[in-house]
């Protein structure tokens, strides 16, 4: 971090803030009015599905300071875009609807920001709603997030309408009753209101800024100056432990300038960004140190978002943390997600490359401004980079480091797709590859056993968006189909069976007979073959043929077309013909013997894959979640609680019952639930379910 007494002017005059909040909080309306406050002719972006799902970025001037505002999607399905906004910003404004309060997703995001010390403020919207009451909203916020939540302004209400804000720092009134913002002195009644709130604000500011000298003066009754309070407010916000509240009513512009003033005067500049970096040593990551906020220092930047267009190609939204990014520079590009997550992502393999910086632009209000360079703290859009992907680090080639990744939730809603036509079939692989590059929260899986293409997504809104992009952006029509679960077949009891392949119709014939005994093995044991032939009833050269035929049939299945596992086959007897026996004949006989063994009543059962599921949910929904798990044929293994008093439920659940669980859990726990799943093993499928699968397989085979 750069010394605060030696910050370059270009960096000191930058603020990067992200607006976050749930859908319906008024966040995007606030974003539009913040931009309109500086560009009156701005009419806003077209609100469609793409706009609602994407991070919006624009820079405006607030006095001598350039404020870049990032509007992150509120829908939980678009968490990748939300993370992009958080990565690019130096502080967050949580937008809370006065009438709706804080939902579970917003509360969870608050705790994530707290874990990394991100500075935060709160904008309270929709105070003109008939159900809204500022004091009640403030009390609710303090109940959830603590007494460090304090108003910087208090709304002025006249005839049940907000007409302005009282500044608790300057003790002035920002009056909008005339239709435009005017600053005036407070009346006696307004001063009394200010006094009711001001003490808690000042004490919170001084306490979190750890300014003992100012605290002593305050306790002694000294009249603290506005600039002193603003300086300490900046320190308090930077700690990530003090959170100013600004009431806004963007439809009447009330609070817009006040919010911008707080961002400009009290939010940290980029030199104070908490950046955590690592270096790769012998295939492992080790903590490293990095300078931040120095345009003359070594380059450290990160691709926070990637877009892909069939006409203009790949575009990268890049946040520069240190150094200066210049047009036509060659930079080191490093991506090593697996070292941070512990999981290999085939769509985004680890890589170290060199890429060339293409044309850059600063995203303004309604238009982009080309720029030949971007200094520490700036967020720019770069085109024509071919190697860099989202979360990749850009550095000087002689000083490589990795910006630590902010882990994303796993996409846990699968949807199976297939191309609608042969022409679409040719275009689909390339389109899916581009989707995966652009959106790090979608995983593409091509299953070998079920021969399906699976998109792993964040939720139904994410599914709808991806399918629309395939159609509209890449010209690929796809259809969805039910998810197929990769079952297994196994023997439940020891059985004996004979197999024969005899054909003698003149000329060279085919002759092979064998007798086998099938013995079930414990789960996960695989397949064993035991040669128990004596007396040469099957010549030695044909015994491997019998095994080969049995193994081939194991792969094809014996009742429903799924691989057969966990058994031992004893080859005990057979017959051969000195002329007509052959390798192929004994393969066929071995396969026939296995099918004959499977035809015995009750000999074979289906095994279904089971996942270990860990659900984290608010305590109040614990009972409902456990009941739902039981309804999914799940087995609860145990429960626990975390530091935030969430219930943690561990259970074994069949994969076939989890295909829509991401949607169902969200509804069941009103957005407060999350879960992870890991493969556990295979267990016997209930006979009623197995009968349906076998019947479907027989019907499909006869068509």
Q: CA-CA distance, 319 to 308, in Å (whole number)?
A: 18
The pair of structure tokens assigned to 393 is 């680090």
The conformation of residue 269, written as its DSSP 8-state character, comes to: P
The 10s digit of each residue's pLDDT in 580-603 is: 999 999 999 999 999 999 999 999
Residue where the block lists tokens 């985004």? 348
Q: CA-CA distance, 149 to 631, in Å (whole number)?
A: 42
pLDDT at residue 272 greater than cutoff 60: yes
- Degrees, nearest 5: CA angle 30-267-248: 25
The yes or no reply on domain 289-403 and CATH 3.40.190.290 is no
pLDDT at 420 (0 to 100): 95
The 10s digit of each residue's pLDDT in 447-456 is: 988 999 999 9
pLDDT at 1 (0 to 100): 46
CATH classification of 413-481, choosing from 3.30.70.141, 3.30.70.870, 3.40.50.720, 2.40.50.140? 3.30.70.870
Q: CA-CA distance, 538 to 529, in Å (whole number)?
A: 15
Domain 11-272 and domain 289-403, same fold? Reply is no
95, 20 contact by CB (below 8 A)? yes
- What DSSP string describes 296-328? TS--EEEEEEEEEETTTEEEEEEEEEESEEETT
What CATH code would you report for 11-272? 3.40.50.300
pLDDT at 251 (0 to 100): 74
Would you kindly state where each structural domain of the chain is located, as residue ranges? 11-272, 289-403, 413-481, 488-602, 607-689
Q: CA-CA distance, 584 to 660, in Å (whole number)?
A: 46
Looking at the domain 488-602, which fold is it? Answer: Ribosomal Protein S5; domain 2 (3.30.230)
The 10s digit of each residue's pLDDT in 363-397 is: 999 889 999 999 999 999 999 999 999 999 999 98
Residue 312 or 56, more confident: 56
The 10s digit of each residue's pLDDT in 411-431 is: 999 999 999 999 999 999 999
* pLDDT class of 406 with cuts at 50, 70, 90: confident
Q: CA-CA distance, 309 to 315, in Å (whole number)?
A: 8
Question: Rounded mean pLDDT of the chain?
Answer: 92
526: left (phi over 0), alpha (psi -120 to 50) or beta: left
CA 502 to chain centre: 59
Residue where the block lists tokens 């502080």? 91
- What DSSP string describes 634-685? -EEEEEEE-TT-EEEEEEEEEGGG-TTHHHHHHHHTTT--EEEEEEEEEEEP
The 10s digit of each residue's pLDDT in 308-354 is: 776 777 899 999 999 999 999 999 999 988 888 888 777 778 899 99
**Residues 607-689, CATH architecture:** 2-Layer Sandwich (3.30)
Which of 620, 617, 619, 613 minimizes the C-alpha distance to 634?
613
Q: CA-CA distance, 593 to 567, in Å (whole number)?
A: 14
Cβ-Cβ contacts under 8 Å for 418 (sequence gap 6 or more): 452, 453, 478, 479, 481
């Amino acid at each position: 971090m750069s010394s605060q007494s030696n910050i370059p002017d270009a960096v000191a005059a930058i603020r990067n803030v992200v607006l976050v909040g749930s859908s319906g909080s008024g966040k995007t309306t606030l974003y539009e009015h913040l931009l309109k406050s500086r560009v009156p002719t701005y009419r806003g972006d077209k609100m469609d599905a793409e706009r609602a799902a994407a991070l919006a970025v624009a820079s405006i001037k607030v006095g001598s300071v350039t404020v870049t505002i990032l509007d992150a999607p509120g829908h939980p399905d678009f968490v990748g875009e939300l993370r992009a906004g958080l990565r690019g910003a130096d502080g967050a404004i949580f937008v809370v609807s006065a009438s709706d309060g804080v939902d579970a997703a917003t509360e969870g995001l608050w705790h994530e920001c707290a874990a990394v010390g991100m500075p935060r403020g709160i904008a309270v919207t929709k105070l003109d709603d008939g159900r809204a009451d500022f004091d009640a909203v403030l009390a609710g916020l303090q109940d959830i997030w603590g007494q460090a939540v304090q108003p910087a302004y208090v709304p002025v209400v006249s005839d049940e309408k907000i007409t302005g804000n009282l500044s608790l720092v300057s003790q002035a009134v920002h009056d909008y009753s005339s239709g435009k913002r005017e600053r005036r002195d407070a009346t006696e009644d307004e001063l009394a209101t200010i006094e009711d709130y001001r003490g808690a604000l000042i004490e919170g500011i001084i306490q979190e800024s750890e300014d003992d000298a100012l605290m002593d003066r305050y306790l002694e009754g000294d009249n603290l100056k506005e600039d002193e309070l603003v300086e300490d407010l900046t320190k308090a916000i930077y700690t990530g432990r003090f959170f100013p509240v600004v009431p806004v009513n963007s439809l009447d512009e009330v609070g817009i300038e006040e919010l911008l003033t707080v961002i400009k005067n009290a939010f940290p500049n980029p030199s104070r960004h908490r950046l955590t970096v690592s270096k790769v040593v012998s295939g492992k990551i080790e903590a490293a140190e990095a300078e931040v906020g120095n345009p003359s220092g070594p380059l450290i930047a990160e691709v926070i978002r990637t877009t892909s267009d069939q006409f203009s190609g790949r575009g990268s939204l890049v946040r520069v943390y240190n150094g200066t990014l210049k047009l036509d520079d060659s930079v080191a590009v490093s991506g090593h997600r697996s070292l941070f997550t512990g999981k290999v992502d085939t769509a985004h393999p680890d890589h170290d490359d060199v890429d060339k910086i293409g044309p850059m632009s600063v995203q303004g209000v309604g238009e982009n401004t080309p720029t030949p360079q971007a200094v520490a703290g700036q967020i720019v859009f770069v085109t024509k980079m071919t190697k860099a992907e989202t979360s990749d680090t850009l550095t000087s080639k002689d000083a490589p480091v990795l910006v630590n990744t902010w882990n994303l939730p796993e996409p846990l809603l699968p949807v199976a797709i297939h191309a609608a036509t042969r022409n679409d079939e040719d275009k689909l692989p390339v389109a899916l590859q581009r989707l995966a590059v652009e959106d790090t929260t979608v995983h593409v899986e091509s299953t070998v056993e079920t021969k399906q293409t699976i998109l792993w997504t964040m939720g139904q809104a994410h599914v709808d968006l991806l399918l629309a992009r395939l159609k509209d952006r890449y010209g690929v029509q796809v259809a969805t189909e039910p998810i197929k679960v990769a079952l297994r077949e196994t023997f439940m009891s020891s059985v004996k069976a004979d197999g024969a392949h005899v054909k003698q119709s003149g000329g060279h014939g085919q002759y092979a007979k064998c007798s086998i005994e099938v013995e079930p093995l414990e789960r996960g044991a695989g397949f064993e073959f035991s040669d128990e032939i004596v007396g040469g009833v099957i010549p030695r050269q044909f015994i491997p043929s019998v095994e080969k035929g049995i193994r081939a049939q194991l792969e094809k299945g014996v009742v429903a077309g799924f691989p057969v596992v966990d058994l031992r086959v004893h080859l005990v007897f057979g017959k051969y013909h000195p002329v007509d026996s052959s390798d192929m004949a004994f393969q066929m006989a071995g396969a026939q013997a296995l099918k004959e063994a499977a035809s015995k009543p009750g000999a074979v059962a289906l095994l279904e894959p089971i996942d270990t599921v860990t659900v984290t949910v608010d305590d109040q929904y614990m009972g409902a979640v456990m009941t739902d798990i039981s309804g999914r044929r799940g087995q609860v293994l145990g429960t626990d609680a975390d530091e935030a008093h969430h219930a943690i439920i561990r259970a074994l659940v069949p994969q076939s019952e989890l295909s829509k669980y991401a949607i169902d859990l969200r509804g069941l726990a009103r957005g407060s639930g999350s879960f992870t799943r890991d493969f556990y093993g295979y267990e016997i499928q209930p006979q009623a379910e197995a009968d349906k699968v076998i019947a479907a397989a027989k019907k499909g085979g006869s068509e």
